[in-house]
Every structure is written in C-alpha cells, then in structure tokens.
C-alpha cells in the first residue's frame, strides 16, 4: 500500500517567492517541509535562481541555479567538459584555487588532473587492502554496538545514536584504513565536524570565525597526514597511507599535500556521509516499523535496503558545477560561468524516475538514486565500502540491539550541504 503523498508547498502556505535555499536554517526544518519545497521547485521552476549566502571573507558571486529534476542533474553530471567541477564543487562561493582543490580534492578537479589523481588513488586501493576491510567493518560494527550496550547499561538506559553508533563506525573504518594512531582520532572527528558544520552555530562560535575555524581544521588534518606520510616512507606498513605514498602512475606520485587533501575527502565522503546514512536510517526505520521488521527478518534484503536508505536520506544535499560555455538544458539557455547546484535530494524524489517517491520501500528495485553522485567521472570512489558499512551496521543492530528504540526528535544540522543529524536519542532495554 502506498504511503500518503508528501504535503505540497502550498499545503504549508509556501510559494516559490518564499523559498531561500541559501538560508541554512531552512535545512534544519523537518524533511516533509524540505521535500515539499523541492517538489514545488521541481514542478514550477526546475532551474530556480538564488542569491549566494553572505559569508565573511569570501566574495559574493552572481548566484546560482538550483537543479531539481533528475534528468537535468544527470545531463550535467555526464558532461564534465561543459560543466566544470574545478571551478568549485563543494562551495557555493568561489574559493581561492589552492583552497578549492585542497578541501575538494578529486571532487573539485577536472580532467586531465582529475583522471591522473584518481588513477593513482585507485591503484592504492589494492585487492589486499580492500579484502582486509571486509573483516574490519564487521569487527568495528560489533565492537561499537557492544560499547553502546555498555553505555546504556552503565547509565540510564539511553544512548545517542549519532555519537554512540553512527559516528564511530565509519570514523574507525577510515582511520583503520589510513592507519591513523588512536591518540589522533578524537581530533580527526572534531575537525571533520568543523569542516562539514555548514556554519551551524553549535559547532562554530560565529559566522565571523567560521572561515578561520574551517582553515584551522584543514591545517590540523593536513599536519597529521604529512607526519604520517613521512613516517610511512621511513617505515612502511600495510595501511592505505603507505599505499598512497608509494602508488605511481606514469612516473608520478601523490605529493604530501595531495595525500592530505585526499584524507579530507575520505572524511567527507567516507566518514560523514556514511555516518548520516546510518543515523537517518535508524530514524527512518523507527518511523516505518513495518520496514524495519521486514529487513530484520530477511538478510537477503540487504542490497536493496541499503540503496533505499541512501536514496531516502541523500546524505550530501548538493554539489556544484559551473558552465564552461553557453549551454542549453531542457530548452533553456544559460551563459558561460553559470553556477548550478545539483540537489540530489530533489532528484532522488523525482516522480518521473521513482514510483511513489515519498514512500520508504526497502525492496525498491531498480533504484537508480544519485546518493553517491550521478553518472560521470565523479561517481563516488568509495561507494562499495559505504554500502558494506551501512549493511553490516544495520545487520549488527538487528542481531545485537533489537531493543533499540528512538525516544525523541532528532537534532538536525543547520547546513545546506550535509543532510545530517547532530543527535538522535534512543533507549535500550536494561
């Protein structure tokens, strides 16, 4: 049976003139409000124009077009020659080129540089390293879940799904993969939170120091990876940092800065996005107990269930592309230099592609979501690892925390870029 349609923008008294996707407080609203607005834009103004947010110390540019239809998003993603990532993919504002590449890594590069760096990185992901991850993810998930159980037992029976489950699983997997020392991992978590805070006032003291905090976080993470690169050259181990240091394509290797930049990308694409898929997946299952019971009883549902969680949650809200010349999309012409924000959450609920798009259906198949990016050269390099982390974590929860119960509303991140939760209270039977 189909779920009721999500309310439309008019049901909330919203018109297009009321919408400002650049206002981060908009993104802290309940999902039904956000999706109603995205539905309205997709239907009435699929290339709606928005002014850029004002951020201290960054130039205010000409604004951007919000891409909300699946077909348009896919068309842009498949033509990197016409729609550049190198002009900036993770920031609405134009950042200095060195900062843009450092914080965006592969995501903020165009060919031929993108292809070269991606080939070197891909070469470092050897079968031996990937095979080692298979067992590692299972061990990490079991240890994290056991610790959550102890936390609840030693306290009042409650846990925070984000802090006690969703955050530590991918962070530990990435840190194990890179060989990050245990004493540095709390710093890695804290600084990755700053980079992806979106200026959330709880995580950043004020907008005036948001850029400074962002830069300091990058410096701390880069310093860690530079130190580790030097150590691995002197004393190689079996981790990905050693592989990245030694990987070579056509006589070229990654510089220490490129390794540090890739580490930041892993924290964004491999840590934060998986963390938010897990935490919001727990929330979605609590809101759809029939689907939770269905998945818990059927391990064969793992593949489609993971894809539906990624579609439903869309952990990264948008990526940016910039037209390299005059372009035409769906009969509209845009000049060179037009900024396009690809709203994955909107594309993932496009009724032209997904039947009953506002229904949470763990058996949905096929499910051509764009939660890992659309087709093209920037499809997520770590999608396979993310899928395994999500599947293993939920299977472990079903087996070891079947009494997990969400007991309060989520505390949502005020960020237009990351669709994240800061906290999600839950109870375990004692």
Q: pLDDT of 112-168, one tens digit each?
A: 888 888 888 887 777 677 677 777 899 999 999 999 999 999 999 999 999 999 999
Structural domains of the chain, ranges and CATH numbers in brackets: 9-427 (1.10.630.10)
Strands (E), 278-380: 318-323, 327-329, 332-334, 339-343
- Give the span between the Cα atoms of 349 and 67, in whole angstroms: 13
- Give the span between the Cα atoms of 53 and 359, in whole angstroms: 32
Buried b (16+ CB within 10 A) or exposed e, 56-87: eebeeeeebbbbbbbebbbbbbeebebbbbbb
The pLDDT assigned to 217 comes to 85
Q: Which residues pair with 159 in a beta bridge?
A: 426
- Give the span between the Cα atoms of 46 and 236, in whole angstroms: 51
Whether the Cβ atoms of residue 172 and residue 144 lie closer than 8 Å to each other? yes
Reported as half-sphere exposure (CB side, CA atoms, 13 A), residue 320 has a value of: 25
Predicted model pTM: 0.91
3-state secondary structure 155-223: CCCEEEHHHHHHCHHHHHHHHHHHCCCHHHHHHHHHHHHHHCCCCCCCCCCCHHHHHHHHHHHHHHHHH
> Position of tokens 């070891």?
400
pLDDT tens digits, 77-103: 999 999 999 989 988 988 877 777 676
| Average of per-residue pLDDT across 290-300 | 98
pLDDT tens digits, 212-258: 777 888 889 889 999 999 999 999 998 889 988 988 888 888 888 88
Residue 221, both tokens: 């993470």
The pLDDT assigned to 199 comes to 60
In the three-class reduction of DSSP (H, G, I as helix; E, B as strand; rest coil), residue 247 is classed as coil
The pLDDT assigned to 284 comes to 98
């Amino acid at each position: 049976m189909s779920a009721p349609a999500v309310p439309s923008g008019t049901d909330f008294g919203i018109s297009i003139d009321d919408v400002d996707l650049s206002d981060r407080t908009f993104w802290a609203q309940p999902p039904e409000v956000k999706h109603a607005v995205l539905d309205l834009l997709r239907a009435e103004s699929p290339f709606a124009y928005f002014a850029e947010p004002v951020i201290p110390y960054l130039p205010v540019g000409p604004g951007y077009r919000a891409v909300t239809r699946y077909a348009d998003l896919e068309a842009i993603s498949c033509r990197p020659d016409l729609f550049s990532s190198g002009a900036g993919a993770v920031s609405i504002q134009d950042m200095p080129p060195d900062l843009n590449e450092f914080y965006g890594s592969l995501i903020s590069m165009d060919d031929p540089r993108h292809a070269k760096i991606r080939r070197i990185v891909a070469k470092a992901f050897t079968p031996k390293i990937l095979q080692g991850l298979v067992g590692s993810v299972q061990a990490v998930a079991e240890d994290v879940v056991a610790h959550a159980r102890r936390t609840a037992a030693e306290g009042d029976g409650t846990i925070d799904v984000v802090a006690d489950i969703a955050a530590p699983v991918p962070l530990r997997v990435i840190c194990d993969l890179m060989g990050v020392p245990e004493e540095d991992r709390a710093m890695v978590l804290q600084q990755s939170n700053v980079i992806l805070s979106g200026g959330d006032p709880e995580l950043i003291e004020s907008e005036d120091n948001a850029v400074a905090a962002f830069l300091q976080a990058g410096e701390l993470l880069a310093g860690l990876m530079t130190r580790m690169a030097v150590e691995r050259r002197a004393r190689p181990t079996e981790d990905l940092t050693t592989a990245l240091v030694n990987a070579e394509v056509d006589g070229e290797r990654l510089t220490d800065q490129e390794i540090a930049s890739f580490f930041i990308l892993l924290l964004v694409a491999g840590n934060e996005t998986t963390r938010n898929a897990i935490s919001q997946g727990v929330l979605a299952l609590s809101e759809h107990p029939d689907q939770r019971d269905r998945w818990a009883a059927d391990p064969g549902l793992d593949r489609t269930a993971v894809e539906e969680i990624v579609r439903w949650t869309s952990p990264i809200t948008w990526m940016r592309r910039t037209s390299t010349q005059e372009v035409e999309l769906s009969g509209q012409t845009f000049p060179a230099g037009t900024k396009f924000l690809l709203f994955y959450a909107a594309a993932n609920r496009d009724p032209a592609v997904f039947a009953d798009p506002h229904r949470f259906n763990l058996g949905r198949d096929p499910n051509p979501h764009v939660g890992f990016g659309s087709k093209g050269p920037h499809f997520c390099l770590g999608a396979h690892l993310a899928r395994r982390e999500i599947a293993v974590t939920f299977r472990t929860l079903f087996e070891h925390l079947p009494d997990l119960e969400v007991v309060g509303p989520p505390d949502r991140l005020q960020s237009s870029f990351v669709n994240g939760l800061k906290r999600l209270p839950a109870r375990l039977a004692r």
